[in-house]
């Protein structure tokens, strides 16, 4: 039996043409040679495989061991290459589509209890009458008290069309058990609101295939509802981990008329290059982009393109620096691999990898402490002379509190300063 497994693993490796490539500067010209696995290397693999099967403290099936070997091979390359079994691979596609399969609730843990904090319209939970504030006590008749959040979420999610029994405790103490049919739930990636009258705030939490369409629709909706043109927008990419590249490129294109947006370089000859097309969503409208240390991947591509073209002012912290491209490759067993194949470069040729995007205006994390004793001014002194008030002084203020969101507050002040000093308004300054 042992010999059989040795030959089996050897045959699998041979049929799969498993090889490890290494670049070696073996000639003066630095030519790279491709080094294939030797028979001894394959024998070493089968020896380790069989030693684990025979001697590990607990029995592990061969399929699990093989998957572990594949995962290990990919994880040793870089932090972003990985193996995905069939269910993980399907979930990746759902993430890209901006959806998941579940009962349509958002949950959180409070006092070791799973609380419903949001209910999606037209989801299975909403149709059953679940409301915000309900507590999930069991999933498939198994108590969830004390479970961590990811375990509870995994219990609620599953393939579309499958059923799950969920018990809820309502605010009045009554308990209801529902058999809910999981279905796809759409997850929005863009959130917006008008601020200070005629300025727009747009937050992109991650990039799905619909993100560019969502942003364009919300820009058009806001333009119609504020009763005039937008005087400036804040594009918030803070804590955006990236996602699908194409919508980030489309958004950059929506704010540019021409020029390179991003390009990639790697070993393959089939590298990507994206350029902008004529026509903008908001021509001439000032843009400030908020970034922080968690702004990564596709969101860095967007910020870098707008920065290199001088189309937006980037403010905040230096970004994460995830500038590598992962190709998603399907396997014949329904699984897939995420493999790093190239690097991103901004229009000016900057590599994002490990360097990130440096903001034009750096705003580190700060805690705002309100001063309860601001001190005296001239007007507070006894017997001060009355002044002659100016009627043409513009004071830049915002409904956004600096204490609540300092970076956002600064972004709005910068936008208003740009508007004040624009040629349409004339350059002006007041001195005293």
Residues labelled catalytic: 297, 308, 322
pLDDT digits (tens, 9 = 90+) for 110-157: 888 999 998 988 899 999 999 999 999 999 999 998 888 888 888 999
Question: Is 256 found in the same domain as 162?
Answer: no
**213, 358: one domain:** yes
Name the range with the highest mean pLDDT among 22-36, 244-258, 265-279: 244-258
Q: Which domain holds residue 211?
A: 190-362
Residue 84 domain flag: no
Taking only the tens place, the pLDDT of each residue in 163-174 is: 999 999 999 999
pLDDT in tens, 376-430: 777 777 787 777 766 565 667 788 988 889 999 999 999 998 887 766 554 443 3
Average the pLDDT over 261-269 and give the result.
92
- For residue 351, the cross-strand partners are 345
In the block, residue with structure tokens 């393939």: 159
d(CA 320, CA 300): 8
- The per-residue pLDDT for 339 is 96
| pLDDT over threshold 60, residue 16 | no
Residue 154 tokens read as 């995994």
Checking if the pLDDT of 431 tops 60, the result is no
> How many residues appear in the chain?
432
Strands 232-236 and 199-204: parallel
CB burial readout 235-254, b (16+ within 10 A) else e: bbbbbbebbbbebbbbbbbb
Mark whether 244 and 346 lie in a shared domain: yes
What average pLDDT score do residues 202-213 get?
96
Residue 8 has pLDDT above 60, yes or no: no
pLDDT band, residue 238 (cuts 50/70/90) = very high
**pLDDT top residue among 234 and 4:** 234
Flag whether 340 is in a domain: yes
Please tell me whether residues 47 and 130 are part of one structural domain. Answer: no
Strand bridging mode 313-316 / 287-291: parallel
- 418 vs 362, more confident: 362
Q: Are residues 320 and 253 part of one domain?
A: yes
Q: 19-77 pLDDT, tens per residue? A: 333 333 333 334 345 567 888 998 999 999 999 999 999 999 999 999 999 999 999 99
User: Among the residues of 121-203, which ranges form H helices?
Assistant: 124-128, 149-156
Cα angle for residues 202, 207, 211 (degrees, 5° grid): 60
Judge if 324 and 218 occupy the same domain. Answer: yes
User: Would you say residue 7 has pLDDT above 60?
Assistant: no
Q: Please report, for residues 58, 72, 138, the alpha-carbon distance to residue 55 in angstroms, rounded to integers and kept in the order given.
A: 8, 20, 39
Choose the final residue of a domain: 300, 335, 362.
362
Q: Quickly tell me which residue has 């699998």 as its tokens.
A: 12
Q: Given 156, 186, 216, which residue is the final one in a domain?
A: 186
More confident residue, 348 or 422: 348
Asked if pLDDT for residue 202 goes beyond 90, the answer is yes
| Claim to verify: residue 151 and residue 218 sit in the same structural domain | no
Residues 233 and 267 in one domain: yes
Of 163, 186, 209, the last residue of a domain is: 186
CATH of the domain at 111: 2.30.42.10
Residues 240 and 344 in one domain: yes
Percent of the chain whose predicted confidence (pLDDT) is above 90: 65
- Average pLDDT score over residue span 97-109: 90
Residue 154 inside a domain? The answer is: yes
Instruction: Dig out the tokens for 322 from the structure.
Output: 């995830």
Give the pLDDT confidence score for residue 15 in this predicted structure.
Answer: 40
Same structural domain, 351 and 253: yes
Are 198 and 277 found together in one domain?
yes
What's the pLDDT score for residue 393? Answer: 56
Number of domains in the chain: 3
In whole numbers, what is the pLDDT of the chain averaged over residues?
Answer: 86
Asked if residue 317 and residue 277 are part of one domain, the reply reads yes
Residue 399 buriedness (CB in 10 A; 0-12 / 13-18 / 19+): exposed
Residues 310, 318: Cα–Cα separation, whole Å: 17
- 301-344 pLDDT per residue, tens: 999 999 999 999 999 999 999 999 999 999 999 999 999 999 99
pLDDT band (50, 70, 90) for residue 371: low
């Amino acid at each position: 039996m042992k010999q059989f497994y040795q030959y089996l693993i050897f045959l699998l490796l041979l049929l799969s043409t498993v090889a490890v490539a290494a670049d070696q500067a073996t000639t003066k010209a630095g030519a790279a040679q491709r080094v294939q696995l030797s028979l001894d290397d394959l024998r070493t693999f089968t020896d380790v495989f069989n030693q684990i099967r025979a001697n590990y403290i607990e029995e592990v099936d061969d399929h699990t061991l093989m998957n572990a070997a594949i995962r290990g091979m990919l994880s040793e390359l870089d932090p972003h290459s990985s193996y995905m079994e069939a269910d993980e691979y399907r979930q990746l596609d759902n993430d890209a589509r901006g959806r998941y399969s579940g009962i349509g609730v958002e949950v959180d843990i409070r006092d070791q209890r799973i609380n419903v904090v949001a209910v999606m319209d037209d989801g299975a939970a909403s149709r059953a009458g679940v409301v915000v504030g309900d507590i999930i006590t069991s999933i498939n008749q198994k108590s969830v008290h004390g479970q961590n959040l990811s375990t509870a979420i995994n219990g609620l999610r599953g393939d579309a069309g499958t059923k799950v029994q969920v018990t809820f405790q309502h605010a009045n103490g009554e308990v209801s058990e529902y058999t809910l049919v999981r279905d796809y739930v759409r997850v929005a990636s863009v959130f917006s609101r008008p601020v200070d009258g005629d300025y727009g705030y747009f937050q992109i939490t991650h990039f799905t295939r619909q993100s560019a369409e969502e942003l364009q629709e919300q820009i058009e909706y806001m333009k119609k509802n504020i009763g005039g043109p937008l005087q400036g927008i804040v594009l918030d990419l803070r804590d955006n981990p990236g996602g699908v590249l194409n919508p980030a490129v489309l958004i950059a294109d929506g704010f540019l008329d021409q020029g390179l947006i991003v390009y990639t370089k790697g070993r393959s000859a089939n590298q990507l290059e994206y350029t902008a097309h004529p026509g903008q969503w908001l021509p001439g409208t000032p843009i400030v982009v908020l970034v922080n240390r968690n702004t990564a991947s596709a969101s860095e591509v967007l910020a870098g393109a707008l920065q290199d073209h001088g189309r937006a002012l980037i403010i905040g912290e230096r970004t994460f620096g995830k500038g590598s491209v992962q190709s998603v490759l399907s396997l014949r067993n329904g699984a897939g691999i995420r493999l790093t194949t190239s690097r991103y470069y901004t229009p000016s040729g900057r590599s994002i990898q490990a360097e990130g995007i440096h903001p034009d205006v750096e705003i580190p994390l700060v805690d705002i402490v309100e001063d309860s004793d601001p001190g005296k001014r001239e007007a507070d002194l006894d017997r001060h002379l009355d002044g002659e008030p100016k009627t043409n002084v513009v004071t830049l203020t915002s409904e956004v509190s600096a204490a609540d969101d300092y970076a956002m507050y600064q972004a709005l002040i910068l936008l208003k300063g740009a508007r004040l000093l624009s040629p349409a308004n004339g350059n002006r300054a007041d001195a005293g």
